[in-house]
């Protein structure tokens, strides 16, 4: 089977007793930690139109091994509620399973390990049926979905069989928010789309928005990428950016998920902490990266082919057409060493141009943006930068 070695390496054994249905091709994984509204999420799923294939929903109720008695009791009660709901709603075409409460190692406990626990279980089930093209879908326990959620995921991967994954359109829930909270989530969404579109403008080939509740990946690609990481936050960003190194990540725009816009201090960064800092006055969501920095990036990316087979002594001459902000960053980051490594492993220009972005990836772009906004640019008005981007796109 395609994932036997991966499962053995990760010491995975089945958490679900019943054997997988060989007709299942979509499995949605939902980590659940102290989630009071999980049943609303399950209701939105059970109301979905059914795809041609059978589907499963797996809820991983979890907490850290040293969680408080209150948290453990809350999760135990939640598991009982979910199990009771499943008795009346699970069916062959769309079956539901609740795992747990799973006690996670206190060293790694968090969103990453909880998501990994569920996704590895999905891989185990697809491995048993030999379905390497099976689709693993990531959802959160505070997120609602459109009625066509499952059918559009199925349609996308049927129509794009070579894609390794896909992001899914999202819009945060906004009903009942006070003025400040509502303003914050609107600004945050605008920032996410601005950042994605500015990356696309620069020529970066993998401009995606990473939301933990809004992506899917094939089982084979998940295994090839080494599975989900155990990060306590940002696990979705790191996973998807690494996934992009092995294939194309598409975008499903014909359906939508609706994550909660709740405030949170559970994780160090992400939507909840950003909004909390906005409410507390510790972070200004009206400010963002200056679009000029993306223009500088575009010049670098447009000229990346000039570095192919460049001798070290000629490196500086190539930099003359590159903006000073980029020159200084490349020097500080010792990028010439990475260029040398690329040239050793690329036999032609096409290969070099493609693999360039394995070196200058999303992580290095963030590093560059933070570097330039300390030395060359200032964080500036979000709305002005959105207008500037649109002007360039329509020029």
In a domain, 387, yes or no: no
Average pLDDT across each block of 10 residues of the chain; the chain has 395 residues. List them in order: 95 95 98 95 98 98 94 96 98 97 87 94 98 98 97 98 98 96 97 97 95 96 96 86 94 97 72 91 96 98 93 80 95 92 94 94 96 97 98 86
3-state secondary structure the chain: CCCHHHHHHCCCCCCCCCCCCCCEEEEEEEEECCCCCHHHHHHHHHCCCCCCCEEEEEEEEEEECCCCHHHHHHHHHHHHHHHHHHHHHCCCCEEEEEEEEEEECCCCCCHHHHHHHHHHHHHHHHHHHCCCCCEEEECCCCCEECCCHHHHHHHHHHHCCCCCEEEEEECCCCCCCCHHHHHHHHHHHHHHHHHHHHHHHHCCCCCCCCCCCCEEEEHHHHHHCCCCCCCCCCHHHHHHHHHCCCCCEEEEEEEEEECCCCCCCCCCCCHHHHHHHHHHCCCCCCEECCHHHHHHHHHHHHCHHHHCCCCHHHHHHHHHHCCHHHHHHHHHCCHHHHHHHHHHHCCCHHHHHHHHHHHCCHHHHHHHHHHHHHHCCCCEEHHHHHHHHHHHHCC
On whether residue 246 sits in a domain, the answer given is: yes
Question: Are 365 and 240 members of one domain?
Answer: no
CATH code of the domain covering residue 111: 3.90.550.10
Based on the domain organization, do 24 and 88 belong to the same domain?
Answer: yes
Claim to verify: residue 333 and residue 216 sit in the same structural domain: no
149 and 239 part of one domain: yes
Q: Are residues 216 and 355 in the same domain?
A: no
In a domain, 385, yes or no: no
For residue 313, what pLDDT is reported?
A: 76
> Do 74 and 181 lie in a common domain?
yes
325 falls within a domain: yes
Q: Are residues 64 and 161 in the same domain?
A: yes
The reported pLDDT for the residue numbered 96 is: 98
The verdict on residue 394 lying in a domain is: no
* Pair 203, 295 in one domain: no
Do 336 and 260 belong together in one domain? no
Predicted confidence at residue 106, as pLDDT, reads 83
Give pTM, 2 decimals.
Answer: 0.95
Domain final residue pick, 234, 258, 284: 284
Of 266, 284, 302, which residue constitutes the final position of a domain? Answer: 284
User: Where in the sequence is the domain holding 264, given as residue range(s)?
Assistant: 4-284
Same domain, 119 and 250: yes
Same domain, 259 and 316: no
Query: Which pLDDT score, from 0 to 100, does residue 345 have?
Result: 92
How many structural domains is the chain composed of?
A: 2
- For residues 239 and 223, membership in a common domain is answered with yes
Question: Does 392 map to a domain?
Answer: no
């Amino acid at each position: 089977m395609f994932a036997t070695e991966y499962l053995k390496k990760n010491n995975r054994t089945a958490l679900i007793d019943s054997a997988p249905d060989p007709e299942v091709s979509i499995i949605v994984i939902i980590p659940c930690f102290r989630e009071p509204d999980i049943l609303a999420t399950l209701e939105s799923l059970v109301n979905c139109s059914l795809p041609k294939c059978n589907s499963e929903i797996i809820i991983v109720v979890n907490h850290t091994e040293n969680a408080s008695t209150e948290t453990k009791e809350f999760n135990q009660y939640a598991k009982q509620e979910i199990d009771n709901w499943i008795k009346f709603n699970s069916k062959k075409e769309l079956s539901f399973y609740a795992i747990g409460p799973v006690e996670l190692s206190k060293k790694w406990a968090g969103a990453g390990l909880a998501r990994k626990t569920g996704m590895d279980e999905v891989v185990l089930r697809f491995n048993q049926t030999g379905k390497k093209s099976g689709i693993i879908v990531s959802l959160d326990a505070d997120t609602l979905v459109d009625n066509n959620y499952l059918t559009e995921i199925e349609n996308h991967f049927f129509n794009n069989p070579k894609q390794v994954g896909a992001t899914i359109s999202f819009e945060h829930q906004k009903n009942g928010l006070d003025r400040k909270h509502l303003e914050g989530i609107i600004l945050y969404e605008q920032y996410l789309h601005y950042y994605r579109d500015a990356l696309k403008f620069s020529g970066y080939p993998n401009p995606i928005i990473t939301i933990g509740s809004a992506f899917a990946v094939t089982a084979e690609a998940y295994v090839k990428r080494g599975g989900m990481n155990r990060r306590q936050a940002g696990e979705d960003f790191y996973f998807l950016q690494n996934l992009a190194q092995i294939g194309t990540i598409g975008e499903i725009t014909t359906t939508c998920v609706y994550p909660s816009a709740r405030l949170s201090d559970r994780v160090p960064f992400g939507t909840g902490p950003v909004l909390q800092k906005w409410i507390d006055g510790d972070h200004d969501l009206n400010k963002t990266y200056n679009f000029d920095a993306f223009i500088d990036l575009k010049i670098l990316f447009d000229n990346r082919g000039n570095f192919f087979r460049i001798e070290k002594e000629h490196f500086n001459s190539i930099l003359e057409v590159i903006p000073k902000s980029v020159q200084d960053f490349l020097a500080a980051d010792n990028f010439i060493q990475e260029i040398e490594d690329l040239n050793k492993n690329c036999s032609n220009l096409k290969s070099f141009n493609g693999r360039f972005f394995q070196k200058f990836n999303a992580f290095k772009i963030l590093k560059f943006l933070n570097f330039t906004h300390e030395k060359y640019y200032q964080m500036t008005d979000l709305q002005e930068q959105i207008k500037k981007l649109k002007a360039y796109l329509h020029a």
